C-alpha cells in the first residue's frame, strides 16, 4: 500500500535535472512540486498555497509570492547567499528562512587559492604570451615576480571559506592578513593570521586581496573606485564571494589599464551571464593589454561532483528536520 502524502514541498529550481535525490531524503510521505523555473512570475498562487516548505536555488522570492505561502513552515535556500530572498517579507509573514552554509567550503577555497597562486606566478600571462614567442624561450620571464614568502595576502572575511583559504596558504609562506569584524578577539590567534584594525590597512599592505565576505550595506562596492585606489600598487584581486563587492566594471577596467591593479580573478559578477562592457569585450577578445591579467570563471567555484550532492542532500535534510521536529537549522534572520 502506497503511504499517503502528509506534506508538500516545493522546489523552485536547481542545476541538476529532476529532484530525485531530494525525494530520497525527504521520504515517501512528501509530495514534491518541482517548479523547474527561476522566473518568480511563474509561481502561481494555488501552487504556493499548498506548500509546507519551499526550497529555492536561483529564483527570486519576493512579497507577491510570499503572500501566498499561507501554510509554509519554512523556506530553505540550496546555496549560501540570499540576496534574492526578501527576508523582511518572510519575517512579516512569520515564515522562517535558512540557507545552506555547510557545503562547498573546500571547493571555493581551492578555487580561490588556485586563482591566487596562478596570478601570483603569472601563469595565465605566461601562457597567453608564450603563444607568440618566435625567438628565445626561457628568456621571456615576466617581471616583477616575487617569492611567496615575500608577498602578503589579505583575506576579507574570515568565516568558513576565508579560514579554509588561510589554512591552505600557510604552507606557501605568505604573510597572511585577515579582516572580519564579525570574528571575536583572538580568532586570529586561533587560526593563525595578522589582524589589522582597519580594512584600509589590509588594502594598503596586501599584494593579493581575496574576498570572502557577504554582500551587504557595509561591503557592497567594497572594491569600487575608492577601494581599488586604496590597494597597494600592483596588487592582485580575487573575488569568489559576491559580484556586488566589485560592481563598478569601469573602475576595474581603469585600474587594470593603468597598472595600479596587476591582475584580477573573478568567479561572480553582478549580472550573469555578463553583458556588454569594454572590459568584458577585451577579455572575450583576448586583447593583448589584458592577456592573462583578467580571469573570469562562470560562478562555479562552489562546484564539484561531491559538493553538488552534498548541497542537495543538506538542503533536503534541513526541510525534513523542519517537517519532523518543527526546527529550522541554519536559520537566517534580517539581522544575521
The CATH number of whichever domain residue 57 belongs to comes to 3.40.50.720
93: containing domain = 7-103+305-332
The answer on 141 and 25 residing in a single domain is no
What percent of the chain clears pLDDT 90, i.e. is strictly above it? 89
Q: Is 1 part of a structural domain of the chain?
A: no
**pLDDT confidence of residue 186:** 96
Query: What's the pLDDT tens digit per position in 111-142?
Result: 999 999 999 999 999 999 999 999 889 999 99
**pLDDT confidence of residue 335:** 65
The answer on 147 and 23 residing in a single domain is no
**pLDDT confidence of residue 304:** 93
The answer on 97 and 110 residing in a single domain is no
The answer on 119 and 80 residing in a single domain is no
Q: Is 260 part of a structural domain of the chain?
A: yes
**In terms of Cα–Cα distance, which of 193, 187, 266 is closest to 223?**
266
Give the residue numbers annotated as catalytic, written as ranges: 242, 272, 299
Q: At 174, is the pLDDT very low, low, confident or very high (cuts 50, 70, 90)? A: very high
Query: What's the pLDDT tens digit per position in 13-72?
Result: 987 778 999 999 999 999 999 999 999 999 999 999 999 999 999 899 999 999 999 999
* Domain total in the chain: 2
**pLDDT confidence of residue 329:** 95
Listed in sequence order, the residues at least 6 apart from 57 whose beta carbon sits closer than 8 Å to its beta carbon are 11, 12, 13, 14, 15, 38, 77, 78, 79
Q: Is 95 part of a structural domain of the chain?
A: yes
Question: What's the pTM?
Answer: 0.89
Q: Is 210 part of a structural domain of the chain?
A: yes
**pLDDT confidence of residue 301:** 95
Q: At 229, is the pLDDT very low, low, confident or very high (cuts 50, 70, 90)? A: very high
pLDDT value at 291 more than 60: yes
Q: Is 281 part of a structural domain of the chain?
A: yes
**pLDDT confidence of residue 14:** 80
Q: Are 162 and 212 in contact (CB under 8 A)?
A: yes
Amino acid at each position: 500500500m502506497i503511504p499517503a502524502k502528509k506534506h508538500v514541498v516545493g522546489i523552485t529550481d536547481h542545476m541538476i535535472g529532476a529532484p530525485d535525490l531530494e525525494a530520497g531524503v525527504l521520504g515517501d510521505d512528501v509530495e514534491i512540486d518541482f517548479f523547474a523555473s527561476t522566473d518568480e512570475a511563474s509561481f502561481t498562487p494555488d501552487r504556493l498555497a499548498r506548500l509546507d516548505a519551499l526550497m529555492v536555488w536561483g529564483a527570486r522570492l519576493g512579497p507577491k509570492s510570499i503572500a501566498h505561502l499561507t501554510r509554509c513552515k519554512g523556506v530553505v535556500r540550496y546555496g549560501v547567499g540570499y540576496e534574492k530572498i526578501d527576508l523582511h517579507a518572510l519575517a512579516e509573514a512569520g515564515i522562517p528562512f535558512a540557507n545552506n552554509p555547510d557545503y562547498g567550503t573546500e571547493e571555493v577555497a581551492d578555487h580561490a587559492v588556485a586563482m591566487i597562486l596562478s596570478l601570483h606566478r603569472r601563469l595565465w600571462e605566461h601562457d597567453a604570451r608564450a603563444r607568440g614567442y618566435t625567438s628565445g624561450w626561457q628568456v621571456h620571464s615576466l617581471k616583477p615576480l616575487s617569492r611567496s614568502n615575500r608577498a602578503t595576502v589579505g583575506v576579507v572575511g574570515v568565516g568558513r571559506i576565508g579560514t579554509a583559504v588561510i589554512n591552505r596558504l600557510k604552507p606557501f609562506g605568505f604573510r597572511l592578513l585577515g579582516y572580519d569584524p564579525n570574528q571575536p578577539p583572538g580568532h586570529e590567534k586561533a587560526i593563525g593570521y595578522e589582524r589589522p584594525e582597519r580594512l584600509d590597512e589590509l588594502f594598503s599592505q596586501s599584494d593579493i586581496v581575496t574576498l570572502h565576505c557577504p554582500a551587504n550595506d557595509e561591503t557592497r562596492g567594497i572594491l569600487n573606485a575608492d577601494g581599488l585606489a586604496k590597494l597597494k600598487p600592483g596588487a592582485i584581486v580575487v573575488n569568489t564571494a559576491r559580484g556586488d563587492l566589485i560592481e563598478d566594471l569601469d573602475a576595474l577596467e581603469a585600474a587594470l589599464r593603468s597598472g595600479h591593479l596587476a591582475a584580477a580573478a573573478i568567479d561572480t559578477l553582478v549580472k550573469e551571464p555578463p553583458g556588454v562592457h569594454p572590459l568584458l569585450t577585451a577579455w572575450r577578445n583576448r586583447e593583448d593589454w589584458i592577456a592573462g591579467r583578467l580571469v573570469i570563471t562562470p560562478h562555479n567555484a562552489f562546484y564539484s561532483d561531491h559538493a553538488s550532492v552534498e548541497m542537495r542532500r543538506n538542503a533536503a535534510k534541513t526541510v525534513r528536520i523542519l517537517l519532523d521536529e518543527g526546527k529550522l537549522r541554519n536559520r537566517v534572520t534580517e539581522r544575521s
